[in-house]
Amino acid sequence: MDKTQILENLAHAAIEGDEDLARESAEQALSNQIDPLEAVEQGLSKGMAVVGARFESGEAFLPELLMAAGAFDAAMEILQPEIEAQKKEITKLGTVLIGTVKGDVHSIGKNVVATVLGTSGFDVVDIGVDNATLDIIQEAKKAKADVIALSSLMTTTMPAQREVIEVLEEMSLRDKFLVMVGGGPVNQEWADEIGADGYGKSAVQAAEVARRLLGREG
Amino acid sequence: MPDFLDFMERATTGQILAENDYYLKVLIPNVTKVVREFGIRYDPANPVSSDDELADRLFEAAVEFVTRTGIYCGATNRVIEVGRDELLQAVENLPDGSTFGEGRDRRRFRARRPGDERPPWCHVGTGIVASSEEIATAQVEGYGGIPQASSISIPAFGRVRGMHVVGGSPLEIYATIGSVQAGRRALGRAGRPGLPILNLISSATTSMATIAGTHPDFGLRPSDGWLIDFLAEMKVDFETLNRLAFVHVTGGNVGSTALPILGGYAGGAEGTALVMTAYYLLGILLFRGAYHLTGPVHFRHGCSTTRDGLWVMSVAGRAASHNTRYPAIGLAYAAAGPCTKEYFYEAAAANLCCVASGYAGVQTVHPAKAVIEDGVTPLEALFNVEMAYAAAGVSSERASELVNRFLQKYEDIIGEAPKGKRYQECYDLRTGKPSEEYVRLHEEIKEELTQMGVSFRF
Assigned domain for B224 exists: yes
What would the pLDDT profile of A58-113 be if each residue is shown by its tens digit?
A: 889 999 988 998 899 899 999 999 998 888 877 788 999 999 998 888 888 898 89
A45 shares its domain with A109: no
A48 shares its domain with A115: no
Number of domains in chain A: 2
Stretch B306-333: mean pLDDT: 98
At residue A185, the pLDDT reads 84
Number of domains in chain B: 1
* Yes or no, beta carbons of A62 and B263 under 8 Å apart: yes
3-state secondary structure chain B: CCCHHHHHHHHHHCCECCHHHHHHHHHHHHHHHHHHHCCCCCCCCCCCCCCHHHHHHHHHHHHHHHHHHCEEECCCCEEECCCHHHHHHHHHCCCCCEEECCHHHCEEECCCCCCCCCCCEEEECCCCEECCHHHHHHHHHHHHCCCCCCEECCCEECEECCEECCCCCHHHHHHHHHHHHHHHHHHHHCCCCCCCECCCCCCCCCHHHHHHHCCHHHCCCCCCEEEEECECCCEECHHHHHHHHHHHHHCCEEEEEECCEECCCCCCHHHHHHHHHHHHHHHHHCCCCCEEEECCEECCCCCCCCHHHHHHHHHHHHHHHHHCCCCEEECCECCCCCCCHHHHHHHHHHHHHHHHCCCCEEECCEHHHHCCCCCCCHHHHHHHHHHHHHHCCCCHHHHHHHHHHHHHHHHHHHHHCCCCCCHHHHEECCCCEECHHHHHHHHHHHHHHHHHCCCCCC
What would the pLDDT profile of B11-20 be if each residue is shown by its tens digit?
A: 999 999 999 8
* pLDDT above 80 for B202: no
* Yes or no, beta carbons of B168 and A103 under 8 Å apart: yes
> CB of A128 within 8 Å of any CB in chain B?
no
Classify each residue of B299-317 as buried b or exposed e, where b means 16 or more C-beta atoms within 10 Å of its C-beta: bbbbbbbbbbbbbbbbbbb
Cβ contacts (< 8 Å) between B31 and chain A: which residues?
A: 63
* Yes or no, beta carbons of A156 and B31 under 8 Å apart: no
Assigned domain for B56 exists: no
* Yes or no, beta carbons of B164 and A159 under 8 Å apart: yes
Q: Which of B128, B268, B302 sits opposite A61 (nearest CB)?
A: B268
In 3D space, the residue among B380, B408, B417 whose CA is nearest the CA of residue B300 turns out to be B417
> CB of A126 within 8 Å of any CB in chain B?
no
Classify each residue of B30-41 as buried b or exposed e, where b means 16 or more C-beta atoms within 10 Å of its C-beta: bbbebbeebebe
Spatial distance between the Cα atoms of A174 and A166, rounded to a whole number of angstroms? 8
Assigned domain for B370 exists: yes
Assigned domain for B320 exists: yes
With a CB-CB cutoff of 8 Å, which residues 60-79 of chain B face chain A? 74
What would the pLDDT profile of B111-150 be if each residue is shown by its tens digit?
A: 999 989 999 999 999 987 787 888 999 999 999 999 999 9
> CB of A106 within 8 Å of any CB in chain B?
yes
Cβ contacts (< 8 Å) between B203 and chain A: which residues?
A: 156
* CATH number of the CATH domain containing A36: 1.10.1240.10
Q: Mean pLDDT across chain A, nearest whole number?
A: 91
* pLDDT above 60 for B27: yes
* CATH number of the CATH domain containing B161: 3.20.20.460
Assigned domain for B316 exists: yes
Name the residue range of residue A152's domain: 95-213
Assigned domain for A75 exists: yes
What ipTM, to 2 d.p.?
Answer: 0.86
* pLDDT above 90 for A175: yes
What would the pLDDT profile of B435-446 be if each residue is shown by its tens digit?
A: 999 999 999 999
At residue B372, the pLDDT reads 87
Assigned domain for B437 exists: yes
Q: Minimal Cα distance from B29: which residue of A?
A: A63
Stretch B330-342: mean pLDDT: 97
At residue A218, the pLDDT reads 56
* CATH number of the CATH domain containing A192: 3.40.50.280
Which of A48-62, B150-164, B343-357 has the highest average model confidence (pLDDT)?
A: B343-357
Last residue of a domain, one of A85, A106, A122: A85
Q: Minimal Cα distance from A62: which residue of B?
A: B264
At residue B158, the pLDDT reads 84
Share of chain B above pLDDT 90, in %: 83
* pLDDT above 80 for B162: yes
Assigned domain for A164 exists: yes
Minimal C-alpha gap between B98 and chain A (Å)? 30
Minimal C-alpha gap between A96 and chain B (Å)? 20
At residue A87, the pLDDT reads 83
Last residue of a domain, one of A64, A85, A106: A85
Assigned domain for B80 exists: no
pLDDT band of B203, cuts 50, 70, 90: confident
Stretch B223-227: mean pLDDT: 93
Stretch B299-322: mean pLDDT: 96
* Yes or no, beta carbons of A156 and B129 under 8 Å apart: yes
Q: Mean pLDDT across chain B, nearest whole number?
A: 94
Cβ contacts (< 8 Å) between A19 and chain B: which residues?
A: none
8 Å CB contact between A158 and A190:
yes
Assigned domain for A218 exists: no
